[in-house]
Chains A and B, each alone.
Chain A
Amino acid sequence: MSNGKITIDGQVLDIVPGKTVIQIANDAGIGVQHYCYHPGLSIAGNCRICQVEVEGWDRPQISCKLQPSDGMVVHTQSEFAKDAREGTMEMLLVNHPLDCPICDQAGECHLQDYSYEVGQGAASSPTAKTNLPKNVPFGSKIVYDAERCIKCTLCVRFCEEVTETNELAMAGRSDHEIVIMTSQGEFETPYSMNIIDLCPVGALTSRDFRFKSRLWFMDFAESVCTGCARGCNVMTGGRDGSFLRMEPRENQAVNKWWMCDAGRLGYKAANVASRLEAPLVRNADGALVQVNWERAISAAGAALKGAPGDVLIDGGATLEEMALANDLAAAMGGKAKYAAATGEGDDFLVVAEKGANAAGAELLGLPRAKKASAASVVIVERGQHITASMRDKSGAVVVFAMDGEHVPDSAQVVFPLPSSAERNGLLVNCDGIVQAISSNTAIGPNNLADPIELIEDILGELDDGYDWRGRDGVLASIRALPAFAKVDFPAGYEAAGVGAGS
């Protein structure tokens, strides 16, 4: 049954029950500027920037709250609508500090973007701006600037409605209204940093990211957080080899719009000083020395021929890496197993299973290593999964590691492992959803080899008849496994033999 039609900017659109005009417009690609509206939170209707014209109505209407009715005709770009929004913009800017040059939000500030768009001209009057508190700590991770704040209350509503921890509230009234935090001094919720993303302006900034980089000098890539098996969808942001920040990316099936603070700050492992940047081989003196990739690969082949055995792989490794680890173990007459930590979960996003691809390993039939045992090859990204004791007791001769601290003394050959922000591949999350991580080229050391290629090269050393398959081939063989018969693969990975790899 039809729910009627609404016309927005000349487009005739279906009315969807439960959706207000702004959602119908946005779904149709008609962008309506908004600050206080967020699809995951209640409607506050206070910023007034999403005002549109409705034919037959005297006053502009806020599209975030506007219920469509059959035959309603809405204009977002009429003079009337634009005047209303520009009038609101002027109000938003009258007390807003013009500190964009030192504001971290510059480049991703909705206020800045929109004031460019409407072309706000000269300031209307020499009115003195209202002074409000600045540089207020909101817990240890967030800094609040009440002058930049446009009082949209997204952050307050997040703490009320999503985390239900109520750390924040509005205080004062009229133009001295500000956001305040509980005097407990720290957020109870482990999700506090989402309010930084929610904040449409530079009022809430991350103490971690403050003043580190301008947005426009950074590169971003879509990826997945590997902090636990939830696999929150993220954007990774990097510059000149450094991983600078991670922020959630909407995925209604996985993390909606959010991610936990621990996951968000988990990027730092990629920036440690002890990161490995080149392959190493142990020389006659017992020291690990840098060699080129070819020498390392042949040394690895030789070492494994001399000490064949199992392969122990990180529970956050990709499906492709795990499948190849399985092949490598088979070539040595051993088994591949994975290791992953478990820890605390909560009733929101964080799960107790910390192996980001533990579910993928199970699908591939890899057993879970619960305690230390012998292995010839160890592939370790996170020390929490393959613990120091597991590494040391494995006696592994070939080691793939991101961090030099994770290399056991037994290693004869060491390959630098790119971080999950630097690799491509698939992970299966706790709910069996297959998701892709993708490489952000601005993060990590230059010229690190893809572990997929390295493992295949080592397989070639072990088996003269090895047939290099590449990522697509590996994926095709994963797909051929009965366990994956009914598994949906993400966009770009749907068809057999088609990979999004590099």
Chain B
Amino acid sequence: MSVPPESTASVLPQAAPPEAVAFPPKELKKECEDILSRYPTRMAACLPVLLLAQQHYGGWISPEVEAGVASYLEVSDSHIRGLLTFYAMYNTKPAGRHEVWVCRTLTCWLRGAEKLRQTALDTAGVATCGTESDDGKFLIKNMECLGLCEVAPAVFIDGQPHVNVTPEKLTELMEACD
């Protein structure tokens, strides 16, 4: 996923430093420790811990969570933000209750991905990918190849793959989301 220009605003320094959440929360403590035990450095736990944190904190990493994770893993918050804006699966803005990824790369594109994207946007009622819908229900993301090419076109809804998707099927799937 590309980083659209507007999202760079979120990486500008803020007037007051965000107040770090206490990380990890109780529910994640064991899993975080388990992750840390796998690597010789704390920094190496960044990617899996952030994925875990994103899941726990409603689908996105706020500056406060970012600061909490940074302090837990003993890295700078700018390092964490560097990761969040590099890897396509992290969100640094509210991500809706349901996250829909539409693959846009060649195979899916050949098989009708552009229509799917439009369907997703229309169903969610947003103009562009990467922005949460006004009702807070959906975030549509334009993703590069999801590796489901033999069953293209593909979408992910909340981390689960759906294949050979037609616009009608996608509408159905999205409407089934609460």
A and B, direct touch (CB closer than 8 Å): yes
B8 in contact with A183 (CB, 8 Å): no
User: A182's contact among B5, B8, B76, B86, by CB below 8 Å, is which?
Assistant: B76
B8 in contact with A132 (CB, 8 Å): yes
Known A172-B86, A176-B5; contact A182-B78, beta-carbon cutoff 8 A: yes
Say yes or no: is B58 at the interface (Cβ < 8 Å to chain A). Answer: no
Q: A170 to chain B: closest CB distance in Å?
A: 5
User: B14's contact among A174, A176, A185, by CB below 8 Å, is which?
Assistant: A185
A178 in contact with B11 (CB, 8 Å): yes
A168 in contact with B78 (CB, 8 Å): yes
Q: B64 to chain A: closest CB distance in Å?
A: 10
A136 in contact with B12 (CB, 8 Å): yes
Q: Complex: how many Å from CA A136 to CA B18? A: 18
| Residues from chain B with Cβ under 8 Å of A173 in the complex | 3, 85-86
Q: Complex: how many Å from CA A83 to CA B93? A: 43
Q: Mark B132-148, 1 if CB is under 8 A from A, else 0.
A: 00000000000000000
Q: Mark A125-148, 1 if CB is under 8 A from B, else 0.
A: 000001111001110000000100
Q: Mark A457-480, 1 if CB is under 8 A from B, else 0.
A: 000000000000000000000000
In the complex formed, the residue of A with least CB distance to B18 is: A183
A137 in contact with B13 (CB, 8 Å): yes
B3 in contact with A180 (CB, 8 Å): no
| Residues from chain A with Cβ under 8 Å of B15 in the complex | 185
Known A130-B5, A133-B8, A171-B11; contact A180-B78, beta-carbon cutoff 8 A: yes
Say yes or no: is B81 at the interface (Cβ < 8 Å to chain A). Answer: yes
Q: Complex: how many Å from CA A170 to CA B12? A: 12
Known A171-B11, A172-B85, A172-B86; contact A183-B77, beta-carbon cutoff 8 A: yes
| Residues from chain A with Cβ under 8 Å of B85 in the complex | 171-173
Say yes or no: is B17 at the interface (Cβ < 8 Å to chain A). Answer: yes
Q: B105 to chain A: closest CB distance in Å?
A: 15
Say yes or no: is A181 at the interface (Cβ < 8 Å to chain B). Answer: yes
User: A169's contact among B5, B12, B78, by CB below 8 Å, is which?
Assistant: B78
Q: Mark A4-21, 1 if CB is under 8 A from B, else 0.
A: 000000000000000000
Say yes or no: is A292 at the interface (Cβ < 8 Å to chain B). Answer: no
A180 in contact with B17 (CB, 8 Å): no
B5 in contact with A183 (CB, 8 Å): no
A169 in contact with B2 (CB, 8 Å): no
CB-contacts of A93-149 with B (<8 A): 130-133, 136-138, 146
Q: Compute the total of residue contacts between A and B using a CB distance below 8 Å.
A: 80
Q: Complex: how many Å from CA A185 to CA B12? A: 10
Q: Complex: how many Å from CA A138 to CA B75? A: 19
Q: B61 to chain A: closest CB distance in Å?
A: 13
Known A183-B13, A183-B18; contact A169-B8, beta-carbon cutoff 8 A: no
A185 in contact with B17 (CB, 8 Å): yes
Size class of the A contact interface (CB-based, 8 Å):
20 to 34
Q: Complex: how many Å from CA A180 to CA B86? A: 13
Q: Complex: how many Å from CA A184 to CA B14? A: 8
| Residues from chain B with Cβ under 8 Å of A320 in the complex | none
In the complex formed, the residue of A with least CB distance to B70 is: A182
In the complex formed, the residue of B with least CB distance to A137 is: B13
User: A132's contact among B5, B81, B82, B86, by CB below 8 Å, is which?
Assistant: B5
Say yes or no: is A88 at the interface (Cβ < 8 Å to chain B). Answer: no
Say yes or no: is A167 at the interface (Cβ < 8 Å to chain B). Answer: yes
B5 in contact with A171 (CB, 8 Å): no
B77 in contact with A176 (CB, 8 Å): no
Q: Complex: how many Å from CA A178 to CA B11? A: 9
Q: B46 to chain A: closest CB distance in Å?
A: 12
B2 in contact with A181 (CB, 8 Å): no
| Residues from chain B with Cβ under 8 Å of A132 in the complex | 5, 8
CB-contacts of B1-60 with A (<8 A): 2-5, 7-9, 11-18
User: A180's contact among B4, B11, B18, by CB below 8 Å, is which?
Assistant: B11
A185 in contact with B5 (CB, 8 Å): no
Q: Complex: how many Å from CA A181 to CA B66? A: 14
Say yes or no: is B154 at the interface (Cβ < 8 Å to chain A). Answer: no
Max chain A Cβ within 10 angstroms of own Cβ: one of B9, B16, B67, B82: B82
| Residues from chain B with Cβ under 8 Å of A271 in the complex | none
Q: A97 to chain B: closest CB distance in Å?
A: 14
A170 in contact with B77 (CB, 8 Å): no
Q: Complex: how many Å from CA A137 to CA B79? A: 18
Say yes or no: is A290 at the interface (Cβ < 8 Å to chain B). Answer: no
Say yes or no: is B68 at the interface (Cβ < 8 Å to chain A). Answer: no
Say yes or no: is A387 at the interface (Cβ < 8 Å to chain B). Answer: no
Say yes or no: is A166 at the interface (Cβ < 8 Å to chain B). Answer: yes
| Residues from chain A with Cβ under 8 Å of B78 in the complex | 166-169, 171, 180-183
A171 in contact with B82 (CB, 8 Å): yes
B2 in contact with A174 (CB, 8 Å): yes
Q: Mark A218-230, 1 if CB is under 8 A from B, else 0.
A: 0000000000000
Say yes or no: is B153 at the interface (Cβ < 8 Å to chain A). Answer: no
Q: B66 to chain A: closest CB distance in Å?
A: 8
Say yes or no: is B130 at the interface (Cβ < 8 Å to chain A). Answer: no
Q: B85 to chain A: closest CB distance in Å?
A: 4
| Residues from chain B with Cβ under 8 Å of A138 in the complex | 13
A166 in contact with B81 (CB, 8 Å): no
Max chain B Cβ within 10 angstroms of own Cβ: one of A133, A136, A176, A182: A182
Given contacts A137-B13, A138-B13, 19 further A-B contacts (CB under 8 A): A131-B5, A136-B13, A166-B76, A169-B76, A170-B82, A171-B81, A171-B85, A172-B7, A172-B85, A173-B85, A174-B2, A176-B8, A180-B78, A180-B81, A181-B13, A182-B76, A183-B17, A183-B18, A185-B15
Q: Give me the 4 closest cross-chain CB pairs, A-B, nearest first.
A: A169-B78, A169-B82, A166-B76, A172-B3
Q: List 15 A-B contacts (CB under 8 A).
A: A169-B82, A170-B82, A170-B86, A171-B11, A171-B85, A174-B3, A176-B3, A178-B11, A180-B81, A182-B77, A183-B77, A183-B81, A185-B13, A185-B14, A185-B16
